[in-house]
A and B are shown apart, each in its own frame.
Chain A
């Protein structure tokens, strides 16, 4: 089993606000992230695919294909967007690192046909990230 990781970066804005909370609760729970006009980050996404290298090509999957999937599923959806208003998959969710990473996993998982999606790591800043794994089948002994 080999793990292959590709990294991309995108920039987007968001804000944290739960309409079920009072304005005071929103400020208390979300702090600065509750600023009604939003704020932005440079996100770094690392996508890891697990698989056996093909005996003919030597590849787990074609990096060009992975690049195109990431361009189509992530960059076009999220790059230079306001995540709360412009990404339907995040509608009704607080666009935290955890939730964005989960949406990215759900978008990528069905598109990756060679190898298997192993991990999605999304950095919101260099000091904050979320990891997604397949639950219950994390036994890839790398």
Chain B
């Protein structure tokens, strides 16, 4: 099952990819109409628009020798479903998600919100979330861990 020395020499993370679809509108009520249009362009369209988001969740921890796993996928999938996919999939981020009543649902802020929701996962340590908004844009957040991006 590998010696203790080998285990401590290598850090292992488990990555899992999920998908959800949601709509949003980038608009800050503190800014004028012109300023909103200037900052957000098409994304400021009053009726909103949507994306197929891809969410990547990375967790770390000890690989349990009995199961070979950092975390059981069923536990991780269930937690992500309950905390993120259920509340966000096929929703309007602005209207249906409390956090975006006071912040603009950019994908930067979405990363932070998803990280906040997943941080309490009890079976492993949340290292990083990455959210792909389109095939050309993606965003990553690792909380306040200053070493999180050094890989």
Contacts and interface: CB of A to CB of B under 8 A. Distances in A.
A126 B6 contact: no
A133 B10 contact: yes
Nearest to A16: B68
Interface string B83-113: 0000000000000000000000000000000
Contacts of B16: 127-129
Interface in B1-39: 1-2, 6, 8-18
A4 interface: no
Interface string A16-34: 1010110000000111000
B13 A99 contact: no
B150 A98 contact: no
Contacts of A134: 9-11
A29 B12 contact: no
B10 A105 contact: yes
Nearest to A121: B15
Interface size range on A against B: 35 or more
A30 to B, nearest CB: 8
The main secondary structure of chain A at its interface with chain B is mixed
B17 A127 contact: yes
Interface string B48-74: 000000000010000101111110111
A95 B68 contact: yes
A21 B69 CA distance: 15
Given A93-B2, A138-B150, A131 B68 contact: no
A132 interface: yes
A135 B8 contact: yes
A9 to B, nearest CB: 17
Nearest to B19: A127
B11 A98 contact: no
Given A96-B63, A96-B68, A128-B73, 20 more contacts: A16-B67, A29-B67, A29-B72, A93-B2, A93-B65, A96-B69, A98-B70, A99-B68, A102-B2, A121-B15, A129-B16, A130-B70, A132-B11, A132-B13, A133-B10, A133-B151, A135-B9, A135-B11, A140-B150, A140-B151
Interface of B: 1-2, 6, 8-18, 58, 63, 65-70, 72-74, 147, 150-151
19 contacts: A20-B66, A21-B66, A29-B72, A30-B67, A93-B65, A94-B68, A98-B14, A98-B69, A105-B10, A126-B17, A128-B14, A131-B12, A132-B10, A133-B151, A134-B9, A135-B11, A138-B11, A138-B147, A141-B150
